[in-house]
Amino acid sequence: MAKIAAAEKPVEELTKKEAAAELARLAEEIAGHDRRYYQDDAPTVTDAEYDTLRRRNLDIEARFPELKLEESPSERVGAAPTGRFAKVRHAVPMLSLDNAFAEEDVAEFLARVRRFLRVAEEAPLDIVAEPKIDGLSLTLRYEKRKLVSAATRGDGYEGENVTANARTIKDIPDSLPKAAPDIVEVRGEVYMLHKDFAALNERLAEAGQKTIANPRNGAAGSLRQIDPSVTASRPLKFFAYTWGEVSKLPSETQSGVLAAFESWGFKVNPLMRVCRSAAEALEFYREIGEKRARLGYDIDGVVYKVDRLDLQERLGFVSRSPRWAIAHKFAAEQAQTILKGIDIQVGRTGALTPVARLEPITVGGVVVTNATLHNEDYVRGIGSDGEPIREGRDLRIGDTVTIQRAGDVIPQIVDIDLAKRPKGAEPYVFPTECPVCASKVVREVNPKTGKRDSVARCTGGLVCPAQSVEKLKHFASRNAFDIEGLGDKQIEAFHAERLIATPADIFTLSKRLPAADLAEKEGYGAVSAKNLYASIDGRRTIPLHRFIYALGIRHVGETNAKLLARSYGTYDAFQPAMIAAADPESEAWSELDSIAGIGDVVARAIVDFYAEDHNREALDALLKEVTVEPAEAIDASSSPVAGQTVVFTGSLEKMTRDEAKAMAERLGAKVAGSVSKKTDLVVAGPGAGSKLKDAEKHGVKVIDEAGWFTLIGKG
């Protein structure tokens, strides 16, 4: 990470000549960061470092206004569009916000507003405060209440047309209710929830693709996919917080307009608050700072806006930002602590991951004790692109390190204080043998790039207890066999006692360990023992895609498992084909390799899996215990809703209305728009109103969305 301004002179000490050179240098550096942030989705500095550069630029310009460059960063927002998408000129520019870092900056902002408006210090002045979402801004244009275009900010004046992609985002309505004006541009932030970001990275890693650094880059990269179906597969969210062109504003205040947006079907940040004084606004900032870690999405500060729109209008803009709003940024969350040790974890596919054990330290309100060290190179100070990280400094036990919890939820070690390194500290030696089973550790050579893989793997396969236990955890996990009561801890215990070694053992456990005996074990009782066996028995039948996913084959995550299930239809067709595909000349291989979405690396991994005798033995035993359902389209006549009349009402979260309708119809149901005594079933989401009352009146069964998925067997 670049060190900024550390060695540079304070602005007050610059000569005019130095100031001119500094402005030129800053313009270039900021433009480079803008490009990496906006176009490549790959920033190389933190927001705080970037803000420092911009602030320095502004400070120098304030001291030497005559030196201000025509192309000054203070006149520009972001970077020009990348050119892959068509360009859209914004009807009203999408500008940026000025930043405040200290409470005094906020007080100064409010005082400035009052001075400008000639509002006395004691007179009321409502300020709307809300979290500053760390995503990317998007403008949505509705004409005659239909979404006609969606565009990114770009350079503030011209953005990229991402309409098709925006349409796949569930928080973005396709049409607005009658109350909305003829023309309205709703603006807000596209972002990704931490949990969705983690799941996306898991999927990418499984598919052997590059993972994404943080949720903001995840949101930006997902929104700017050329293929909208890729965007659709990535769960993006949207908060509305401002607007562009509007033919008739629905209110006279900022908070009123946002309330109208909400009533039109947009999501508005629920934490938004109208504050009556500077003290209240700062209190809000502190509260949000405390809640930050638990929000489930990244924010990088708080935004304050003058509530009354007539006052906003009077205040107007200065260069790139409104005079009526300011962003109060959070300080980057960093803290120093000691690296006490480096442990190696062995994963399901044998990957050895070094984990830093830290002297516990609070960073931004959260106690951090571990930090991922990714891989051997990372410990040595080499990044995934082969370039040095931490200026090439390697990590040694006993080092004093700087921990950062930035937008990222996973804490990172961003720096080492070499002056504090204990005498005689030795470079860390990465194990050449698996710390669990002592098998050899290898770093494979990527056949595509010819480069050594950054991941070191244990070659022990199922001989390695760490790998086999991780495989079992995966097998029983939610999206695989989903065996309730058989979580990570239970599997570790059964595995340690040699009661479960392969998946089939799960299903034969009750024969070897009757419920009465299990009930005697620590952590169990008569009821929980009975429940565990009931939930195991409840999973003796499983859809093909879940079964394939459960096998834990390298590179085969849920997406690939579904592709394979759809392509082969039944397990009886799948397994022999995978065995036959071992011959690269065979038709089976070319069939597998030609499935859209399944590349060489994935195909190879599946074939390798089936080529192992011990895997086939484990499968034979497992197939004696479970039945794998074919993936064919569900037979409408046997569907639980065939012939029924179903009504969907309220908001649905896992599917759009259209999807729900198509799904119900595929299952042989009729979908109606209103509830009558002929209705068989009402599926009601949050916010359901009169239809729910009608259902009560006619005594119609009501279930929620989750109930629907359970009913049709997809729960």
CB closer to ligand IVH, 133 vs 476: 133
Give every CB contact of residue 148 below 8 A, 6+ residues apart in sequence. Answer: 141, 142, 163
- Least distance from ligand IVH to the Cβ atom of residue 397, Å: 40
Concatenating the DSSP letter of every residue in 615-667 gives HHHHHHHHHHH-EEEP-SPPPGGGSTTTT-EEEEES--SSS-HHHHHHHHHHT
Which one of the listed residues 132, 329, 562, 691 is annotated catalytic? Answer: 132
Confirm or reject binding of residue 160 to ligand IVH (CB under 6 A). Answer: no
Confirm or reject binding of residue 268 to ligand IVH (CB under 6 A). Answer: no
Answer whether 588's CB lies under 8 Å from 581's CB: yes
CB closer to ligand IVH, 35 vs 393: 35
Among 39, 57, 74, 137, binds ligand IVH (CB under 6 A): 137
Q: For residue 637, what are its two tokens? A: 């006549």
- Least distance from ligand IVH to the Cβ atom of residue 47, Å: 10
CB closer to ligand IVH, 138 vs 207: 138
Give every CB contact of residue 570 below 8 A, 6+ residues apart in sequence. Answer: 544, 628, 630, 631, 632
Among 22, 47, 51, 189, binds ligand IVH (CB under 6 A): 189
Find the helix packing angle between 488-496 and 465-476, rounded to 10°: 140
Confirm or reject binding of residue 242 to ligand IVH (CB under 6 A). Answer: yes
Report the C-alpha gap between 660 and 479 in whole angstroms.
Answer: 21
> Which range of residues in 93-101, 481-489, 493-501, 693-701 is near ligand IVH by CB under 6 A?
93-101
Among 14, 26, 60, 97, binds ligand IVH (CB under 6 A): 97
Confirm or reject binding of residue 133 to ligand IVH (CB under 6 A). Answer: yes
- Least distance from ligand IVH to the Cβ atom of residue 12, Å: 27
Name residue, tokens 């946002």: 258
Confirm or reject binding of residue 96 to ligand IVH (CB under 6 A). Answer: yes
> Which range of residues in 100-108, 121-129, 320-328, 671-679 is near ligand IVH by CB under 6 A?
320-328
Among 110, 258, 278, 303, binds ligand IVH (CB under 6 A): 303
CB closer to ligand IVH, 128 vs 466: 128
Confirm or reject binding of residue 327 to ligand IVH (CB under 6 A). Answer: yes
> Which range of residues in 84-92, 132-140, 249-257, 480-488 is near ligand IVH by CB under 6 A?
132-140
Cα dist from 666 to 235, 559, 663, whole Å: 24, 22, 5
- Least distance from ligand IVH to the Cβ atom of residue 233, Å: 24
If DSSP codes are grouped into helix, strand and coil, which group holds residue 538? coil
CB closer to ligand IVH, 133 vs 371: 133
CB closer to ligand IVH, 322 vs 364: 322
Report the C-alpha gap between 470 and 653 in whole angstroms.
Answer: 32
Answer whether 180's CB lies under 8 Å from 534's CB: no
Q: Dihedrals φ, ψ of 140, to 5°?
A: -120, 120
Give every CB contact of residue 294 below 8 A, 6+ residues apart in sequence. Answer: none
C-alpha angle 660-661-667 in degrees, rounded to nearest 5? 90
- Least distance from ligand IVH to the Cβ atom of residue 151, Å: 13
Catalytic site residue 489?
Answer: no
- The residues in 648-667 that bind ligand IVH, with binding defined as CB under 6 A, are none
Confirm or reject binding of residue 39 to ligand IVH (CB under 6 A). Answer: no
Sign of CA dihedral 277, 279, 285, 286: negative
Positions marked catalytic: 132
List contacts with ligand IVH (CB under 6 A). Answer: 95-97, 130, 132-133, 137, 189, 241-242, 303, 322, 325, 327
